[in-house]
Amino acid sequence: MADYIYTLETRLSPDQQKAVSAVIDAAKAAGMNVYLTGGAVRDIITGFTIRDLDFTVQGNALKLQKDLERGGALVSDADDETRSLLLTFPGGVRAEIGMARSERYEKTGKPPVIAPATIIEDLRRRDFTVNAMALSLNEGSRGLLMDPFNGAADIEAKLIRVLHNYAFLEDPSRMIRATRFTTRFHWPLEERTQARYESGKENGYIDHIRSSRIGDEIEQLAYEDDALGVLKAYEKEGWLKVLNPRWSTAKVDAAGLSALTKTRQQMNELGYAPDVAPAVLYFLTGRLGEKDVADLRRAIPRKDLVTAWKDLEDDARDLAKRLMGKEAATPSRTWQLLSSARPEMVLFLAVTARQQAVTQKIKNFFTKWRQVQQKIPLPEMTELRITPQMAEYPKIANDVFMLLLDGKLRSRTETLKFLKPLAPPPPPPPPAPTKRGRGAKAAAAALPAAAPVAGKGKKGKGKEAPVEAAAAAKPAVKAIEASAGKGVVAKAAAAPAAKDVAKSGKPVQADKAQENKAAKPVAKKVVKPAAKVTAKPKAVAKGKAGKPAGKKGKR
C-alpha cells in the first residue's frame, strides 16, 4: 500500500507534488475525500511521463475553487454539470478536479445523466481499465490503490481494454482516445476491444460524438510528445476530419514542428521546461485557414492554452524587436533579456525568427555564452571565501559572468583582481586560552583589552600580533594569484605559507597562518594586502582602498 505513495512522491515533479498537497489540503478543509484518478495513476504505475493530474473528490469540486485560487492555482474552466474544475497550478501543472459521479446513458448521442456517486461508482463510468484506477490521498488510507477492473494487470500486459461492451457507443470520443493511447504507448487494443472498435467505426458511432468531447481531444493532441504521429494515426482512422473537416497532415507545418521538437530537447537539456502545447497547435495547424483555426480554438476548453496560442506570434515579434534594440546591445544585456523572457517565447522565436541577428543571439544564449560560465574561477572564489553561503554570492557570480560575457575581464588575473575586494573578511580567530588558577585573573583582565583592539580598531596591547598576521596573510593572497595562473615562478616567489596554500590547494590557509602566528585578533593591517591587489574597483581604490582591509582586520 505504502509503495504507491512512495512511487507518487518519487515520480511527481516538485511542482506536481505541491499541487497534490494543495488539493489534499483544500479537500480536507472542505471535508471531502479525495483521490488521484485516471491517467495520472496509470502513468505513475507505468513509469510514463505524468502529464497532468486528475483528481476526484466525493463532493462538489466547484466548492474548492476559492481555496485553490488563494493557493495560486488558476481556474481556466468550471463545468457546472460535472462539477469539475480545470486548473493550472504554479509551475504550469495542469490538473482537473471532478466530483465523483455516475453516468447513465439513456439515448445514443445524448449526454449522460449525471449523479453524485462513490469513488468506485465513478471508476465504473470510465473508458479503459488502465484509466479506471484511483489512488487514495486520504489520511488513514493514503496510497491505497483501488483497481476494480484490474487495470494494473492490463498495464502489465500492455493492453488497452474497454470496461464494457457499450463503451464506444456511449461515448464515441473513446474511439479517438483509443487511437491516441495505442499510438502513444505502442500498446494494442485487447482483442474484444478491437472488435468493438471496428464495429463502432463501421456503424458510424462517431457521428454521435458530443462537441465538448471534440474540444477535449483537440486539446489533448497539443500535449502529445509525438503530436504529428498521433495526427497521422487520426487521419488514417478517419478521426481527424471529426476534429475539423479540413484538417489533414498536409495542413501541418512539419518542418516547424520538427524544429520545435529539436529545440525543446536542447532547452530541456539546459534545464528549461517550456510549455510547448501552444506552439504544437500553431504548427499542427500551420497551413489551415483562419476560420478553421478559429473553430478549433473555440472548441478547446482550456482557455489559457487558447490565449497562449493566439498570442504566440505577437509575443515573438515583440521579443525579436527587443533583441534587435538597445536593450540587447551587449551580450550581457541580451543574456539578461533572454533569461527573463518566458522559455516558451524563446523556444518559439528560436524556431520562427527570420532575422539573422536574432537567431544568432538565441544560438549564443544556448551554446557559446554558456561556456563562458566555465571561466568563473570557482576554486579561487572559494579561497577568497566568496561562496554560496554569502548573501551577496549570486550577485557577485552574476556580475563576474556579465563582465566575462562582455569581454571586460579578459584574463583570470583580471577576474581575480575584480573579485578580491569583494572577499569577505576572514572569520575571527578563536579566543586566547584562559589560564586557570593563579594568574588567571591577570589573563582574564588582558582579554577585554585585546578584543576591542580587534573589534573596534583601538590601538593597544594587541599591536604586534596584527603585524605578524598581516605578514602571514600576504603570501596567502599571492598564492591565490599563483593558483589562478601566474605560474610556477609566482608560486616559488611566494612566502612559505603561500607555498603551502598553493600546494595543498586548500583555502583558508591565511586564517590558519593567522591562527598560528597571532593568538590575538587581527587588526587593521591584515587586510592591506587585499587592498593592494584590488583591481577593479576604482571605487574601492578611490579613497576606500583601506576600508575593506580595515574591516577585515577588525573582525
What is the largest distance, in Å, between two alpha-carbon atoms of the chain?
A: 108
Closest approach of ligand CTP to the CB of residue 128, in Å: 7
Pick from 171, 315, 468, 481 the residue near ligand CTP by CB under 6 A: 171
| Residue nearest ligand CTP, CB atom distance | 39
**Per-residue contact string for residues 272-311; x = within reach of ligand CTP by CB under 6 A:** ----------------------------------------
Q: How far apart are CA 228 and CA 478, in angstroms?
A: 61
Quick check: 147 binds ligand CTP (CB under 6 A)?
A: no
Closer Cβ to ligand CTP, 127 or 481, answer by number: 127
The answer for residues whose C-beta is within 8 angstroms of residue 440's C-beta and 6 or more apart is 434
**Looking at 49-57, 85-93, 113-121, 297-305, which segment touches ligand CTP (CB under 6 A)?**
49-57
Task: Say which residues have a Cβ less than 8 Å from residue 207's Cβ, sequence separation at least 6.
Answer: 109, 172
DSSP E strands, 112-189 = 113-116, 134-136, 145-146
126 forms part of the interface with ligand CTP (CB under 6 A): yes
Torsions phi, psi for 35 (to 5 deg): -135, 145
Shorter beta-carbon distance to ligand CTP: residue 44 or 358: 44
# chain residues binding ligand CTP, by CB under 6 A: 15
Question: Rounded to an integer, what distance in angstroms lies between the CA atom of residue 29 and that of residue 23?
Answer: 10
Instruction: Give the nearest distance from C-beta 325 to ligand CTP in angstroms.
Output: 41
Asked if 154 touches ligand CTP (CB under 6 A), the answer is no
How far is CA 446 from each of CA 424, 439, 453, 464, 465, rounded to the nearest angstrom? 28, 11, 11, 15, 14
Residue number with CB closer to ligand CTP (300 or 316): 300
C-alpha cell at position 19: 499541487
Of 101 and 177, nearer to ligand CTP (C-beta) is 177
Q: Which is nearer to ligand CTP, 95 or 451 (CB)?
A: 95
User: In the complex, what is the shortest distance from the CB of residue 229 to ligand CTP, in angstroms, rounded to a whole number?
Assistant: 14
The answer to the question of residue 124 lying near ligand CTP (CB under 6 A) is no
Q: How far is the CB of 483 from ligand CTP (least distance, A)?
A: 53
- Considering only residues 22, 54, 159, 415, which one is a binding residue for ligand CTP as defined by CB under 6 A? 54
Nearer to ligand CTP, 51 or 201 (CB): 51
220/285 with CB nearer ligand CTP: 220
Rounded Cα–Cα distance for residues 128 and 4 (Å): 21
Min CB(61)–ligand CTP separation in Å? 14
Among the residue ranges 28-36, 124-132, 364-372, 502-510, the one whose residues contact ligand CTP (CB under 6 A): 124-132
- Containing 207, the helix (H) or strand (E) segment is none
Q: How far apart are CA 250 and CA 372, in angstroms?
A: 43
The SS3 call for residue 312 is: helix
- Please report how close the Cβ of residue 171 comes to ligand CTP at its closest, in angstroms: 5
Question: Toward ligand CTP, which CB reaches closer, 16 or 220?
Answer: 220
- Taking the C-alpha atoms of residue 153 and residue 148, their distance in angstroms, rounded to an integer, is 11
> Measuring CA to CA, how many Å separate 335 from each of 338, 361, 395, 413?
5, 9, 15, 24
| Interface pick for ligand CTP out of 76, 82, 220, 332 (rule CB under 6 A) | 220
Nearest residue to 523 (alpha-carbon basis) of 454, 475, 464, 461: 454
Closest separation in Å from C-beta 344 to ligand CTP: 20
Nearer to ligand CTP, 54 or 468 (CB): 54
Instruction: Give the residue with the Cβ less far from ligand CTP, 176 or 502.
Output: 176
Return the number of the residue (40 or 453) whose C-beta is nearest ligand CTP. 40
Q: Smallest distance, Å, CB 90 to ligand CTP?
A: 20
Tell me whether residue 180 or residue 499 sits nearer to ligand CTP (CB atom).
180
Sign of the alpha-carbon dihedral angle for 272, 273, 275, 281: positive
Q: Can residue 52 be called a binding residue for ligand CTP (CB under 6 A)?
A: yes
CB of 39 to ligand CTP, least distance (A): 2
Return the closest-CA partner of residue 171 out of 137, 214, 226: 214
Q: Residue 81 corresponds to which cell in the numbers above?
A: 454539470
Please identify, among the stretches 127-135, 247-255, 351-359, 441-449, the one whose residues bind ligand CTP according to the rule CB under 6 A: 127-135
Contact residue for ligand CTP among 5, 13, 25, 51 (CB under 6 A): 51
Start-to-end C-alpha separation, the chain: 57
CA distance 376 to 405: 11
Residue 473 and residue 510 in contact, taking contact as beta carbons nearer than 8 Å? yes
Among 46, 131, 263, 285, binds ligand CTP (CB under 6 A): 131
Q: 3-state SS string over 176-197? A: HHHHHHHHHHCCCECHHHHHHH
Closer CB to ligand CTP, residue 51 or residue 512?
51
What is the spatial distance between Cα 262 and Cα 341, in angstroms, rounded to a whole number?
20
For residues 51 and 13, the answer to whether their CB atoms sit within 8 Å is no
295 touches 207 (CB < 8 A): no
Asked whether position 38 contacts ligand CTP by CB under 6 A, the answer is: yes
What is the spatial distance between Cα 338 and Cα 346, in angstroms, rounded to a whole number?
Answer: 7
Distance from C-alpha of 1 to C-alpha of 423, rounded to nearest angstrom? 53
Instruction: State the DSSP code for 162.
Output: B
Residues 6+ apart with CB under 8 A from 543: none
Nearest approach in angstroms of CB 374 to ligand CTP is: 40
* CB atoms closer than 10 angstroms to residue 129: 25
Contact residue for ligand CTP among 127, 253, 304, 380 (CB under 6 A): 127
- Our CB check for ligand CTP shows the closer of 33 and 46 to be 46
| 173 belongs to the binding site for ligand CTP (CB under 6 A) | yes
Residues that bind ligand CTP (CB under 6 A): 38-39, 51-52, 54, 126-127, 131-132, 171, 173-174, 177, 216, 220
